[in-house]
Amino acid sequence: MNRRDFMKTTGLGVAALALSGITTSVFAQARGAKKPNIIIILTDDVGISEIGCYGSDRYKTPNIDRLAQTGGRFEYCYAAPVCGPSRCQLLTGRYPFRTGLNSNQSHDAIAPDREIMIPAVMKKAGYMTGHAGKWGQMCLGPGEWGFDEYMVYGGSGKYWGKQLLTYRQNGESKKVPEGAYIPDLMHDFTVDFITRHKDKPFFFHYSMSHAHTPIVRTPDSAPDSKTLYADNIRYMDKLVGKLTAELDKLKLRESTLILFAGDNGTAGAGAGPDSSTLHGRRISGQKGSLLEGGSRVPLIANWPGTAPAGRYNKDLTDFSDFFPTVAELGGATLPPGVTIDGHSFAAPIKDEQGKPREWVYVEYNGHSYVRNARWKLTSSGNLFDMKEAPFEELPVPAGSKDPDAMAARTTLQAILDKHPAAPATGKRKRKSGGANQRNPDQTD
């Protein structure tokens, strides 16, 4: 079923799904219970090495850390190594080999008549839906995918008016005020949306600018600052604190789940050789690599009064899991006939017993790997012992007779066989006309 057909359907259709034999998850909340507001804060090029509560040696993030202290921190969350595939996987709940969006150049692979994103199902569940910030190498604009209101800007890492002259809001081009700081405009749009829709459940996708290159000064940077990257991490954290303060002011904190995550591993831009250290050790890899540091990202869930405070979760999680989690918590129906790769992590958020996934899958431009709690197998056939991750990935010789390694290779290979990486795309020519044509709301 495509998005157009899905948007026409009504009701849960449980009986119909059962008769048809379609396997899909249908979630319903208790009758009369208020649905939670849900905000996904997605940072840009920020990995675990930039977040204080994950053990960063270089950066302080007190507001984000407070979300973890009063909520829960997931230790093993995996995105794709670059932003486009990660963002598509998060919003569709589907791996790149299914959607075809497996690199930042493959934006034409998806279109609203072929894929369904979170806002479409949340609208059916009675939610107002909003987006602010980067739209990340995806065809068309947020409005085409089900967002009621949105603000997007052209390109990555645009912070000041002199870098960006216009942005788009709900399909209209708007001039950036002279001297304006784009992240502040995004914050103001987000707060305005939340304030106007505070009496109705809302889903908001807050796609932050920080800390993508080019790294430039923030409004709080000293004129001669030599720590611009740290300034950007600090300002990102400040904006998170301002958002939670607004939710407190509107008396929405206990009815709002905040999911904070990074879209891929650290890029370490301009931060020096020690930028990717945790507890004094360098992590393995960074953005763009299929090493641990390329895809392992922060994930924090904060929902006062519902999510237990200070919970440290070691369940494996990947970006396909956001779709079914948000749908379950919002009482939404997953699209029938569509393979959703994600596993809901709603249970640990609510301090309930769930069924954690046994492995995660990561794919990027023709290459992939599958990883469980101990082992990692790549599509090239290389097996790694991950007991020292994220700092070391220990190669296992192809002829190893270690029984645990042999069993892991067999198990993980069976998973890879069912998840064949899509062919590498490289630079693709942009199509003209039709559903795949980029519109002015498309950003890089």
Distance CA 118, CA 287 (A): 25
Please check whether residues 263 and 403 belong to one and the same domain. no
Domain that holds residue 396: 364-418
Predicted pLDDT at 177: 92
Say whether pLDDT at 6 is over 50: no
| Beta carbons within 10 angstroms of residue 129's beta carbon | 26
Q: Residue 434: which pLDDT band, with cuts at 50, 70 and 90?
A: very low
Kindly report the length of the chain.
444
How far apart, in whole angstroms, are the C-alpha atoms of residue 180 and residue 167?
12
**Alpha-carbon span 263 to 261, nearest angstrom:** 7
CATH number of the domain within which 204 lies = 3.40.720.10
Question: Does pLDDT of 332 surpass 80?
Answer: yes
CA distances from 110 to 91, 129, 140, 180 (A): 12, 20, 9, 33
Would you say residue 427 lies in a domain? Answer: no
Q: 77: which strand partners?
A: 297, 317
Q: What is the pLDDT of residue 54?
A: 96
My answer on whether 74 and 190 are in the same domain is yes
- Check whether residue 118 and residue 166 sit in a common domain: yes
Say what the pLDDT of residue 426 is.
Answer: 63
Residue 252 lies in a domain: yes
Is residue 98 included in any domain, yes or no? yes
- Model confidence over 126-170: pLDDT tens digits? 999 999 998 867 778 999 999 999 999 877 888 998 888 899 999
pTM value is 0.89
pLDDT over 90 (residue 20): no
pLDDT digits (tens, 9 = 90+) for 181-202: 999 999 999 999 999 999 999 9
The whole-number pLDDT of residue 442 equals 30
**Can you give the pLDDT at residue 292?**
95
Asked whether residue 4 is domain-assigned, the answer is no
State the pLDDT at residue 204.
Answer: 98
Mean pLDDT (whole number) for 227-246: 96
User: For all residues of the chain together, what is the average pLDDT?
Assistant: 87
Mean pLDDT over residues 20-31, rounded?
A: 36
Range 76-109 burial, b when 16+ CB lie within 10 A, else e:
bbbbbbbbbbbbbbbbbbbbbbbbbbbbbbbbbb
* pLDDT at residue 400, as a whole number: 93
Mean pLDDT of the region 61-71: 97
pLDDT, average across residues 68-86: 96
Torsion, Cα 203 26 352 65, to 10 degrees, reads -20
Please state, in angstroms and rounded to a whole number, the distance separating the CA atoms of residues 413 and 369. 10
**Structural domains counted in the chain:** 2
In a domain, 426, yes or no: no
> Do both 266 and 393 map to the same domain?
no
Model confidence at 430, pLDDT cuts 50, 70, 90, reads very low
Query: What does the alpha-carbon distance between residue 420 and residue 369 come to, in Å, rounded to a whole number?
Result: 10
The band of 335, judged by pLDDT with boundaries at 50, 70 and 90, is very high
Q: What is the pLDDT of residue 38?
A: 98
Which of 335, 356, 377 lies at the terminal end of a domain, its last residue?
356
Q: What is the 3-state secondary structure (H, E, C) of 345-401?
A: CHHHHCCCCCCCECCEEEEECCEEEEECCCEEEECCCCEEECCCCCCCCEEECCCCC
The highest-confidence range among 18-22, 159-163, 175-179, 257-261, by mean pLDDT, is 257-261
Is residue 345 within 8 Å of residue 403, measured between CB atoms? no
Q: Give domain status of residue 55, yes or no.
A: yes
Please check whether residues 323 and 348 belong to one and the same domain: yes
Mean pLDDT: which of 6-20, 99-113, 332-346, 423-437 is highest?
A: 332-346
Q: What is the mean pLDDT of residues 292-309?
A: 95
Domain shared by 276 and 409, yes or no: no
Residue ending a domain, choose from 337, 356, 375: 356
The whole-number pLDDT of residue 34 equals: 82
Give the type of residue at 259: L
Instruction: Report pLDDT for 277.
Output: 86
Q: Is 405 found in the same domain as 337?
A: no
- The confidence band for 24, taking pLDDT boundaries of 50, 70 and 90, is very low
What's the whole-number mean pLDDT along residues 35-62? 95
Residues 235 and 344 in one domain: yes
CA distance 405 to 15: 44
Bond preceding residue 214 cis, omega within 30 of 0: yes
191 within domain boundaries: yes
Please say whether the beta carbons of 379 and 371 come within 8 A.
Answer: no
pLDDT of residue 22: 31
Residue 126 lies in a domain: yes
- What are the structure tokens assigned to 332, written together? 């939404």
Of the candidates 201, 191, 193, the one whose C-alpha atom is nearest the C-alpha of residue 242 is 191
Residue of 182, 190, 125 lying closest to 328 (CA atoms): 125
pLDDT score recorded for residue 155: 73
Instruction: Calculate mean pLDDT across residues 383-399.
Output: 96
Report the chain's C-alpha Rg in angstroms. Answer: 21
Both 117 and 239 in one domain: the answer is: yes
Same domain, 285 and 392: no
Range from 1-5, 118-122, 429-433 that averages highest in pLDDT: 118-122
Top-confidence residue, 64 or 162: 64
- Both 202 and 339 in one domain: the answer is yes
User: Contact 102/138 with Cβ under 8 angstroms?
Assistant: no
Query: Which pair of tokens denotes residue 202?
Result: 């809302």
The confidence score (pLDDT) of residue 347 equals: 96
Same domain, 404 and 316: no
> Which residue matches tokens 């998973």?
415
